C-alpha cells in the first residue's frame, strides 16, 4: 500500500501544492502579523481561518478519494491475476485426471479398486467417468479463490465436416434440419443456409439457387473471398452469408446458436451417448425431448448431475437398449460410448471474489502425453469462449 500512497503523492497537482502554500502563508501573516503591520480585526481573521480549513478539507478529501480508487484498482488487478493462474491450474488438474485414464483399473466394474489407490476421490472419480466416455467436473478451493474444471470428450458434439456432403444434398438436409430446429432457425431460411454453406466449401464459383460466392463476399466491408474448401473451425460459420443473421426476436446469431452442437475435432460420424448434452442428442439422433431426458437421467445416476461420483455411464449398446428400451433402432449405428481418438474439450474457470477468468481448450491424449489443439482464454463471461 506504501507504493500506492507514494504514487498518489507524486501525482498530486503542483498547482494544488502552491495553493496550499499560499493559503498557509496567508494564514501565518494573519495570525502572526509583523510588529509594524496593521492587524486585521478578529472577525476578518476568523473568516480567513474558516476558508483555509474548508480548502484544506477539500484537498484532504480529494487525496483520500484518490487513495481509495488506487486501492480498488490494485485489488482488482490482484484478483484478476490470481483468477488467471487459478484457471491455468485447472488445466493442470485436467491433465492429471486425463493421465489417470491409462490405468486399466479405471474400467474395472468395481470402482472401489481404483478409488483405493489414492486419497483424492474427486479426481479419481472424474478419471473413472472419463475412462467410460463420460463428463468430469471438479471444483476446488485454492487460496482466496476457487477453480472449476469441466472435461468432456470432444465427440459429445457433432463433427461439422461429416454433416456436409457435397455429393448428397438430401443427406445434408436430413442432418442439418434437426439442428436448425433445435437452434430455433425458421424453416423458410434453412434451404438458403444450406445453399450458402455448399457455396462456401465447394471448389468452384458457381452459385447455388440461394447461395453466395466470392462475388457477394467481395462487396462486404471488409471484402473477402469464398473459401472453396472445408471448414477448419466452427467459428468460420460466422463468415457465411445468412449464418451471421440474428434469430427471430433474439440477439443471438444463427452461427452462435448452432456452435454449441458442433465441432471440427471429432473424427467419426457417431455421437458419444455418455457425454452428449440434451439438445445435441435431440438434433443429431432425431429423438424427442422425453427420450433425451430419459437417457440423460439414466447416465447421471441418483443426483441427476453429469460428472459426479454416482454417474452410471452406458457401457455398450446392449446396456443402453436395456435401460432405455424406447430408443429407435435407426439411431444404433450413430452412437459411441467413449472418447474417439482421445480428444477432449476442457473448460477451466478461476474465480476470486467477483473476478473470473476462463481457459477453454481442445486437447489430444496419447498415453499420458497431452497435445494442445486449440486454446482460448479470457473473461469467463465472454460470448462464445468455449465454442470450438
Average pLDDT for 52-79: 79
Q: Is residue 346 part of a domain?
A: yes
Quote the pLDDT of residue 4. 43
| Nearest alpha-carbon partner for 297 in 281, 284, 317, 286 | 281
Q: Are residues 54 and 202 in the same domain?
A: no
Rounded distance, CA 84 to CA 147, Å? 10
Q: Are residues 23 and 131 in the same domain?
A: yes
Q: Are residues 225 and 122 in the same domain?
A: no
Q: Is residue 6 part of a domain?
A: yes
Average pLDDT for 162-166: 89
Q: Are residues 123 and 172 in the same domain?
A: no
Q: Are residues 374 and 329 in the same domain?
A: no
- pTM, whole model, 2 decimals? 0.74
CA 35 to chain centre: 77
Q: Are residues 81 and 126 in the same domain?
A: yes
Residue span of the structural domain in which 361 resides: 1-30+40-157+265-275+306-319+334-388
Q: Are residues 225 and 99 in the same domain?
A: no
Q: Is residue 121 part of a domain?
A: yes
pLDDT in tens, 117-133: 887 888 888 888 898 88
Beta-carbon contacts of 291 under 8 Å, excluding residues fewer than 6 positions away, are: 324, 326, 327
The three three-digit cell numbers of residue 160, written as one number: 461439422
- Model confidence at 210: pLDDT above 90: yes
Q: Are residues 141 and 224 in the same domain?
A: no
CA 283 to chain centre: 22
Quote the pLDDT of residue 87. 93
Rounded distance, CA 124 to CA 101, Å? 9
CATH number of the domain bearing residue 188: 1.10.40.60
Q: Are residues 182 and 300 in the same domain?
A: yes
Q: Are residues 191 and 233 in the same domain?
A: yes
Number of domains making up the chain: 2
Q: Are residues 177 and 293 in the same domain?
A: yes
pLDDT in tens, 219-278: 999 999 999 999 998 989 999 999 999 999 888 999 999 988 899 988 777 899 999 988
Is residue 102 within 8 Å of residue 116, measured between CB atoms?
no
Beta-carbon contacts of 195 under 8 Å, excluding residues fewer than 6 positions away, are: 208, 209, 210, 211
Dihedral pair phi/psi, residue 139, rounded to 5° = -120, 130
pLDDT in tens, 278-312: 888 888 888 888 999 999 999 988 888 777 767 88
Q: Is residue 243 part of a domain?
A: yes
Quote the pLDDT of residue 109. 82
Q: Is residue 35 part of a domain?
A: no
Amino acid at each position: 500500500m506504501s507504493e500506492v500512497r507514494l504514487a498518489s503523492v507524486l501525482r498530486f497537482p503542483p498547482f494544488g501544492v502552491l495553493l496550499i502554500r499560499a493559503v498557509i502563508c496567508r494564514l501565518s501573516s494573519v495570525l502572526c502579523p509583523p510588529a509594524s503591520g496593521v492587524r486585521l480585526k478578529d472577525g476578518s481573521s476568523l473568516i480567513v481561518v474558516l476558508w483555509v480549513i474548508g480548502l484544506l478539507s477539500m484537498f484532504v478529501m480529494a487525496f483520500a478519494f484518490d487513495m481509495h480508487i488506487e486501492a480498488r484498482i490494485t485489488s482488482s488487478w490482484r484478483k484478476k491475476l490470481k483468477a488467471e493462474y487459478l484457471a491455468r491450474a485447472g488445466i493442470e488438474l485436467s491433465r492429471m485426471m486425463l493421465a489417470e485414464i491409462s490405468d486399466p483399473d479405471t474400467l474395472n466394474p468395481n470402482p472401489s479398486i481404483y478409488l483405493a489407490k489414492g486419497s483424492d476421490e474427486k479426481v479419481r472419480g472424474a478419471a473413472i467417468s472419463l475412462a467410460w466416455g463420460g463428463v468430469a467436473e471438479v471444483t476446488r478451493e485454492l487460496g482466496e479463490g476457487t477453480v472449476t474444471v469441466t472435461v468432456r470428450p470432444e465427440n459429445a458434439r457433432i463433427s461439422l465436416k461429416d454433416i456436409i456432403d457435397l455429393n448428397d444434398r438430401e443427406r445434408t438436409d436430413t442432418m442439418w434440419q434437426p439442428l436448425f430446429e433445435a437452434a430455433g432457425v425458421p424453416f423458410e431460411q434453412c434451404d438458403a443456409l444450406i445453399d450458402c454453406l455448399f457455396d462456401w466449401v465447394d471448389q468452384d464459383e458457381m452459385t447455388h439457387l440461394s447461395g453466395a460466392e466470392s462475388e457477394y463476399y467481395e462487396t462486404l466491408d471488409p471484402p473477402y473471398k469464398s473459401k472453396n474448401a472445408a471448414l477448419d473451425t466452427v467459428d468460420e460459420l460466422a463468415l457465411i452469408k445468412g449464418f451471421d443473421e440474428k434469430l427471430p426476436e433474439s440477439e443471438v446469431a444463427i452461427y452462435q446458436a448452432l456452435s454449441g452442437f458442433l465441432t471440427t475435432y471429432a473424427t467419426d460420424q457417431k455421437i458419444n451417448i455418455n457425454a452428449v448434452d440434451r439438445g445435441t442428442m435431440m438434433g443429431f439422433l432425431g429423438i424427442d425431448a422425453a427420450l433425451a431426458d430419459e437417457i440423460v437421467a439414466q447416465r447421471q445416476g441418483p443426483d441427476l448431475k453429469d460428472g459426479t461420483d454416482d454417474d452410471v455411464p452406458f457401457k455398450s449398446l446392449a446396456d443402453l437398449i436395456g435401460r432405455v428400451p424406447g430408443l429407435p433402432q435407426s439411431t444404433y449405428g450413430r452412437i459411441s460410448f467413449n472418447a474417439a481418438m482421445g480428444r477432449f474439450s476442457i473448460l477451466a474457470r478461476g474465480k476470486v471474489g467477483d473476478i473470473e477468468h476462463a481457459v477453454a481448450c481442445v486437447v489430444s491424449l496419447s498415453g499420458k502425453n497431452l497435445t494442445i489443439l486449440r486454446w482460448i482464454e479470457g473473461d469467463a463471461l465472454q460470448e462464445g469462449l468455449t465454442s470450438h
